[in-house]
Structure 1
Amino acid sequence: MLTGITALGIFAEHQPIYASHNIPTFPMNGKRPAVKGFTKAGSDLSHQWSLDFPEAEALAFMSGARTKIMPIDIDSPDEDLRRDTEKRYGPTPIMVRTPSGGTHLWYLHNGESRQIRPDPSVPVDILGTGGLVIAPPSMGTKGRYQFIRGGLADLHKLRPAANLDQQARQLIQQGGRNKALLDYLRNQARHADDLETLIDVAQTFADQHLDRTSGHAFTDAEIRNVAKSVHDWTQRKIGEGQYFVGTGRYFMEGHDKLNQVMALGPYACALFLRLKVRAGGLKSFQIANDMRHDMPDGVWPLRKMQDARKALTDAGIIKEKHRASSFYGTTVYEWA
């Protein structure tokens, strides 16, 4: 029997494969990067991490100009929504299934910025510049990320997504640059473990979106001050019991309806809390039947899902905004 040989984890095994396609990757710890400086990782640092983290079971990369990949993230198992999204943005040779049943459609990066829920009623994100992308065959807590159409060998076939505003290196005007950086960091703070990581994220954003030759670029001190302001603000909100959830733009400020919901039974209560995390800050949202596959206590029977949704509607917690259509796929709801 051979001794002294340890099986490589997914990151160490697949890092050189992605590197051969000029995609520097980094190890993940769950849905968080296991290292700092990942936003600027090159091939040498990526290789070193593969030696430092031989047992990591997940890897990720940054979308944007370096990797030339721009995924569109569909955070729903709804196949009608997937088909409509691909119809809207154009066909792609590479498709990834996420452990929760969602889909990543890979396109050629064409200068797009990162956009979280550009249409608030549809669970679709544009992972443009600065988007963190967990890569197949990473193992998540609920299962594996896997290519279900194409793979790395098809990267040369990628084309830009259609019907997207082109924002390649868009210059932020002097009067709005502080607010732009502040808003961006507030949306990124949930991914940063500490202040130094958030500063690194801020510097990357400044490099990619500010013209440093214009005389209006941020200094390192200004970047640090803005990042510290956002970090302190975030920690204060958490300390006040306002939990940082969902898209990063919403804080759950108390549960004024929780007692009412608890009286509706455990399934209605669980669905309510799940909706608060996933859609608490949205004006409208979907509650597809397939959401029953993404519950913390396992897959729900279809009837339990339907009954829980009806209970919340009948109690006036949520209400229908409009019925199912060819684009939305399912009925769209809003908070009552």
Structure 2
Amino acid sequence: MAGSIGIFAQHAEAYADAGLPAFPVDTRNKRPAVRGWKNATPQRARTWANIPNLGGADGLGIVMGKPSGLTEIDVDGVGEAWLALAVERFGKTPVAIRTASGKAKLWYRHNGEGRHIRPFQGQPIDVLGNGFTIAPPSWREDLAASYTFKSGGLHDVANLPTIPSEALEVVSGHRAILTLPGERNQSLWRYCMAQARHCDRLDDLVDVARTWASAFPEPLCAAEIERCAQSAWKYEATGRNFLGLRKPQVTDGDRIMDDLIDHPEAFTLFQMFQRWHGNRSSFAIAPRAMSEAGSPPWSRHRIATARDVLLQRGFIEELAAPDKLRRKTGLYRLATDYPRSEHNHYTPLSPRYGHQSGEGLGQSFNQSTAKEVGQ
């Protein structure tokens, strides 16, 4: 993406004008691209933007907490259901952000909140009252997608609400965790199992496990923490993780999958369109050119058929029909309102695996998993 070059240089001034301490970020590895980022100020952001190797960074970081006056609620689960759950808990805010991976962030005015990773049991939500966050329009080259303002923007930063104190009550009680060695090990493993589906990589899960385990009165050693995370990740990677499986409600992703389950190629094509053109007002669909490019690796007829299914079912809209005489491709856009599925999404879990709390797997921990995680 041509626009990814110099993103920090292009947008640092706007963040500085809003009074936000921005700094360059390596978005692929989610880490600052400059030393001294904790001491970032609007003026330093302008200086970094004029240094070629820093101004050319593909992302902008914002220091959370007192320096920026911001607290972020990081909704680390894909789907509108998790976002709605966060808004219901923390209150409405004018600024909502869509991450490059399709997750969400909410901004509030800082009111002394600290940094809490997964403080609410069973919910993929982090409270970021210090540290840093990645802000729009940062670009992820590996995902070919950018961070965008889902609603609001920098002009709303001065008018953000604070988070109600009662919404954070569970955070204060988060440190009351079991103290016996075996119980600590098992509770951490169960926590990792519940959080594994919200992590992209094993390293991310290990980081979550370390943060959560830091609340133990008697800390576990680093090797034990990593073993718990690795064990949970093995269950997740092999499709045997049933802890934390249920969602608070049906998401748009669930409905889309159900409505296109009988046309898997249409479903795949729609996912590709969302990835490539999710931030565009229109895009072309050229079956022959797409087929020749191997993207997707199907014949032009299969691509055209999948396109027609998406049109018929209302997932895309045709703005201009293809014109064979003029050799012009059709022009389309993603529909703003997706069809509502009539399928039954609430298929219960098998009794073999217990209830939502994961009793089936939890009961077998001591027998089948204790040795694996080093209890």
* Superposed displacement of residue 48, structure 1: 2.3
Any conservation in 1 of the 2:8–2:57 contact (CA below 8 Å)? yes
* Superposed displacement of residue 66, structure 1: 1.7
Q: Aligned ranges for residues 186-265 of structure 1 at < 5 Å?
A: 244-248=206-210, 249=213, 250-252=225-227
Q: Deviations over 1:35-78 (max 9, x none)?
A: 11111112332222212213211111111112111110111123
**1:16 aligned to 2:13?**
yes
Q: Aligned ranges for residues 45-60 of structure 1 at < 5 Å?
A: 45-52=44-51, 53-60=54-61
Corresponding residue for residue 107 of structure 2: 106
Structure-2 change in CA distance of 1:271 and 1:315 (3 Å): farther
* Superposed displacement of residue 146, structure 1: 0.5
* Superposed displacement of residue 107, structure 1: 0.6
Structure-2 change in CA distance of 1:256 and 1:127 (3 Å): closer
Structure-2 change in CA distance of 1:291 and 1:116 (3 Å): farther
3-state SS of 1:67 partner: coil
Corresponding residue for residue 276 of structure 2: none
Any conservation in 1 of the 2:4–2:58 contact (CA below 8 Å)? no
**1:321 aligned to 2:320?**
no
Corresponding residue for residue 36 of structure 2: 37
Q: Deviations over 1:191-235 (max 9, x none)?
A: xxxxxxxxxxxxxxxxxxxxxxxxxxxxxxxxxxxxxxxxxxxxx
Any conservation in 1 of the 2:138–2:147 contact (CA below 8 Å)? yes
Any conservation in 2 of the 1:121–1:286 contact (CA below 8 Å)? no
- In structure 1, give the amino acid aligned to 2:244: F
Q: Deviations over 1:7-58 (max 9, x none)?
A: 9511111001000011111111121111111111123322222122132111
Corresponding residue for residue 68 of structure 1: 69
- In structure 1, give the amino acid aligned to 2:126: D
Structure-2 change in CA distance of 1:54 and 1:257 (3 Å): closer
- In structure 2, give the amino acid aligned to 1:155: V
Does 44-53 or 89-98 show the bigger shift?
44-53
Corresponding residue for residue 97 of structure 1: 98
Structure-2 change in CA distance of 1:252 and 1:41 (3 Å): same
- In structure 2, give the amino acid aligned to 1:135: A
Unaligned runs of 5+ in 1: 1-5, 171-240, 262-267, 277-283, 294-300, 305-309, 323-331
Corresponding residue for residue 122 of structure 2: 121
Any conservation in 1 of the 2:137–2:147 contact (CA below 8 Å)? yes
- In structure 2, give the amino acid aligned to 1:13: Q
Corresponding residue for residue 202 of structure 1: none
Structure-2 change in CA distance of 1:253 and 1:84 (3 Å): closer
Higher Rg: 2
Any conservation in 1 of the 2:80–2:252 contact (CA below 8 Å)? no
Structure-2 change in CA distance of 1:58 and 1:134 (3 Å): same
1:97 and 1:333 map into 2 onto residues whose CA distance is 34
* Superposed displacement of residue 255, structure 1: 6.1
Any conservation in 1 of the 2:117–2:208 contact (CA below 8 Å)? no
Structure-2 change in CA distance of 1:165 and 1:26 (3 Å): same
Q: Aligned ranges for residues 171-186 of structure 1 at < 5 Å?
A: none
2:42 and 2:113 map into 1 onto residues whose CA distance is 23
Identity of aligned residues (%): 28
3-state SS of 1:39 partner: helix
Corresponding residue for residue 183 of structure 2: none
* Superposed displacement of residue 333, structure 1: 8.2
Any conservation in 2 of the 1:22–1:67 contact (CA below 8 Å)? yes
- In structure 2, give the amino acid aligned to 1:158: L
* Superposed displacement of residue 256, structure 1: 6.6
- In structure 2, give the amino acid aligned to 1:246: V
- In structure 2, give the amino acid aligned to 1:42: T
1:333 and 1:22 map into 2 onto residues whose CA distance is 49
Any conservation in 2 of the 1:24–1:42 contact (CA below 8 Å)? yes
- In structure 2, give the amino acid aligned to 1:44: Q
1:255 and 1:15 map into 2 onto residues whose CA distance is 39
